[in-house]
A and B are shown apart, each in its own frame.
Chain A
Amino acid sequence: METSNWEPKIVAFLCNWCSYAGADLAGVSRLQYGPNVRIIRVPCSGRINPLYIVRALQNGIDGVLVSGCHPGDCHYISGNLVARRKFALMKRLLTYIGIEPERVQFSWVSASEGNRFAALMNKVIDDIKKIGPAKKLVKSVA
């Protein structure tokens, strides 16, 4: 694929209660961000199985964003806090084996942060555009 007209495919896993609502607010407020994102709604960032992330990369996704409620704001009290431990380790392990740190990103977005969501998406898209298409972990049939 030509890099010049290549547009990255990005998957965002957003928690139902904060980040998904934040994305909704960004939409309702008519904030502009890149069209590269496919959003998958999950009940809580604690629902994220690391396999979701690596499976996305295996299927040819160029970047993954996982976002949940800010620490302390979780709808289920502590789902995002337990998830935070998983994410911290996952990020380190992926970077350690040689995956670009920008490829998989984690963030917190609340329901009132439409601006933050739009800005965050633009940042992720920019980051992925800089590092180019994902090649590692991709399965050939994808």
Chain B
Amino acid sequence: MKHIIFLLVAALLIFHQDFWNWEKSDAVFGFIPIGLFYHACLSLAAGFVWFLACTFAWPDEIDMAEEESVAQEAH
């Protein structure tokens, strides 16, 4: 799963370079220029990819190390 997340993040970075929208001035919904709309959607997609990352690729060893530290502090 970590590899899929890695690929999704790489895809976000690649899709960020939307040269195909460079000179387009169409307005989505009649008021958002397409270049701005595309990047706003990219922000939402980023939120979704990071949700997947936190759900399926969260580093479990971090939680274990943290439990150890908290136990040591309490001790």
A and B: interacting chains: no
Interface positions of B (Cβ within 8 A of A): none
